[in-house]
Chains A and B, each alone.
Chain A
């Protein structure tokens, strides 16, 4: 049996629910409807169903613990094209022998899933520091990022705790996805239209220029080491960093 889902995490979990209902041995493939065309005969289209998804995730959480559930979520968010069957295998292995999973990294497939989760988690952690908010004219904070993995929803909790009294939005430019916080809830939405005319607040220019000034003066000239800086802060992130963009403008 081939399963089709809508590409969302809850959609994927609903597929897992159905697969367990039909018998896991019948699963031949799981495909993302947005990515592939249907060339197979025996397909089953599964709609995202929150109650079913919750059941799977809660079951995994209760049986194997928070770490395994998080590994699954993070590995899914790495958005590898071949992820579905490997994650399915991972879930089956987790349900079958939950207490052995942490030792079975010698299994290459489980090792692969763990590796995806680690990569997502690393980029998320780095981005928690490298994200830069700018204050808009209405007082909202706005950050634009272009990460490799789908980490914007994963970062939302961190900033909701930290800036709980602020209104903010994180915009993933590559995925046309935005996470918005309105002082109460986190809302994830698709961004269809690109806003071209962004108005920043009056104080924004002052504070970002002070920050750039500070950034330039905090480095010790005698110890300059551009390679070390690049290894910590790869150049692909520079276009979205206040201190790096304004620095190059300054030199130009």
Chain B
């Protein structure tokens, strides 16, 4: 089979991996080398589903010894198996990079013969790129559960980001859908990488130069909607991963029913809105000083699909509002629906010079339509009522969203 045919099959097999970010690494180009890292990441294209393409996201091979029920590449699935040689991957990466198609390589693989053997092949590719081709662009590789930690450590010196997939949010679901993978085999390498980070951080002041080790950190991914966990469970898990493993990102992937299996739920459409709400809550965890317990409570363990989690929190804690823009603390301003990190910082900077007026607020970049119900500006309230949060909620759910919400509730029992 020619290269084009192989690429089609392996891109098809890799596309369900969500992560494609190229941020976090500011690796410099070396003399005579090609490429560098851009700290903020650069998106190079967007595919027809609106997801950004910044890395050449591809599998080394789609043949796999595991039999995970949800996966296209599972052993029992009757599909064509192909293998890209290290040389082919290296030349593709360099040629794509020169033409500014991509920001680097995101290599994952099905598991052939053993996790260690597969990781050795990945390591070989990373070494070829970094040492022979003098390539200094972004490299993201998958850590394969059950790999020897020595191999992971060596791989860490060459790549910018390493990610080990959680796959499913609970041990039970893992047993059901991916019987060959265990929770501990996934958590252990994650923990190992985290310990390496901590150790290196404490030794940083001892050496002038240290060999880089996964400068863009580690991430993970889990499938949402393939097993019965509630949103609170998933969010608590993410919070623990951020706190205990210092992960950079947790990615959520709405379960796309491509395979059929006796343990898989029968859904017609991927739960995209739920995935979106999870991401919104994830942002609240990482940037807005929220905790998972605040976002979802025991009484309400699932997201209200009609409004975003921040608005939902505000409506539940109605006694805290309205907030006076000119005096409130930065942390409180962050919690107002319709105000993001940038505009919150801008408000705090601008009010040092002069009190903010209604006119200033209009031009500051906040979503005034939403925020006005929750704030006062110079003592005046511009919203539509302080008595009843239900009224505000009805206003905030847009016509468009209401239509979508009705569609989704048809499937609710199945999701």
Contacts and interface: CB of A to CB of B under 8 A. Distances in A.
B36 interface: yes
B52 A162 contact: no
B11 interface: yes
A232 B270 CA distance: 22
B15 interface: yes
A162 B36 contact: yes
A218 B51 CA distance: 9
A105 B272 CA distance: 39
B210 interface: no
B42 interface: yes
B269 interface: yes
Contact of B270 (A130, A214, A222): A222
Interface stretch (B147-155, B183-191, B349-357): B349-357
Contact of B15 (A165, A209, A217): A217
Contact of A215 (B33, B45, B98): B45
Interface in B262-289: 269-270, 272
B45 A130 contact: yes
B3 interface: yes
Nearest to B3: A210
A161 B29 contact: yes
A223 B49 contact: yes
B270 to A, nearest CB: 6
Interface residues of A, number: 53
Contacts of A106: 350, 353-354, 360
Nearest to A141: B98
A172 to B, nearest CB: 16
B349 A217 contact: no
Given A106-B360, A133-B99, A223-B272, A214 B7 contact: yes
A207 interface: yes
Interface stretch (A24-32, A54-62, A96-104): A96-104
B221 interface: no
A132 B47 CA distance: 16
A209 B360 CA distance: 51
A196 interface: no
Contacts of B346: 105
Residue among B12, B95, B352 with most chain A CB within 10 A: B95
Interface string B180-222: 0000000000000000000000000000000000000000000
Nearest to B30: A164
B363 interface: yes
B50 A132 contact: no
A220 B92 contact: no
Contacts of B254: 223
Interface string A108-146: 000100000000000001001111111100000101000
A240 to B, nearest CB: 12
B135 to A, nearest CB: 11
B92 A210 contact: yes
A18 interface: no
Contacts of A135: 98-99
B45 A233 contact: yes
A203 interface: yes
Q: Say whether chain A's binding surface is mostly helix, strand, loop, or mixed.
A: helix
B82 interface: no
A184 interface: no
Contacts of B323: none
A219 interface: yes
A207 B254 CA distance: 32
A218 B106 CA distance: 13
Interface in B329-363: 346, 349-350, 352-354, 360, 363
A166 B35 CA distance: 11
Interface in B8-55: 8, 11-12, 14-16, 29, 31-36, 38, 42-54
A223 to B, nearest CB: 4
Contacts of B92: 207, 210
A182 B31 CA distance: 15
B7 A165 contact: no
B45 A207 contact: no
Contacts of A214: 7-8, 11, 56, 58
A132 B101 contact: yes
A242 B101 contact: yes
18 contacts: A106-B350, A125-B42, A129-B44, A207-B95, A207-B99, A217-B11, A218-B11, A222-B256, A222-B269, A223-B51, A225-B50, A226-B50, A228-B49, A228-B50, A229-B46, A229-B50, A232-B50, A243-B45
Given A164-B31, A224-B48, 7 more contacts: A105-B346, A129-B42, A129-B100, A130-B45, A165-B32, A219-B49, A222-B256
Interface of B: 3-4, 7-8, 11-12, 14-16, 29, 31-36, 38, 42-54, 56-58, 92, 95-96, 98-101, 103, 254, 256, 258, 269-270, 272, 346, 349-350, 352-354, 360, 363
Shortest 5 CB-CB contacts between residues of A and residues of B = A228-B50, A219-B47, A217-B11, A225-B50, A223-B49
Interface of A: 100, 102-106, 111, 125, 128-135, 141, 143, 159, 161-166, 203, 207-211, 213-215, 217-229, 231-233, 241-243
